[in-house]
Amino acid sequence: MMTPPDLSLLENVDFRNRTYINISPESPDFCITTDEMRTLMSFETNYIEKIYGKYCEPTISETVCRTPAIGCLEVIGNVEINSEFQLDSMRNVERIYGSLVITGTNITDFSFLEHLEFVVTLEQKLAITIENNPNLNDVRFPKLKVFGSNSNSFLM
């Protein structure tokens, strides 16, 4: 049986003191860097309603990766976790600049995402999709603060 998310966490959120962000550039060449997005996400009062554009070409390193790997803190691109996925590669990931899909697994909880703080995609898709995980009984993300997309945004 699934444990529903604890919505009492939202009881102390003062939505009147939010800074709503809507970026809609005139240029099709507009891009936002991962540093800029990280800065936007670092303020607890920021609420991203819409950002149209794309991520700028990042500098890939041992901690900034295109696909999850051990030691990676940031993933640039979409992450799909399925039954073949090596969960250990996500243990240190703090940020995903793309979407997260968890489908067709035997996981019971999200403890392997112990450091994940935010997932933000600039595409017209959901930031997080969870489906077809029959053993999943706890849907709480240990540290997730923000997830957002141009389809759906939510602050935890």
Domain that holds residue 72: 19-131
**In the chain, what's the furthest Cα-to-Cα distance?**
48
Q: How confident is the model at residue 47 (pLDDT cuts 50, 70, 90)?
A: low
Residue 138 lies in a domain: no
Residue 44 lies in a domain: yes
Residue 149 lies in a domain: no
Residue 64 lies in a domain: yes
With a cut of 90, say whether residue 155 has pLDDT above it.
no
Residue 70 lies in a domain: yes
Residue 36 lies in a domain: yes
With a cut of 60, say whether residue 82 has pLDDT above it.
yes
pLDDT the model gives residue 1: 40
Residue 54 lies in a domain: yes
Residue 144 lies in a domain: no
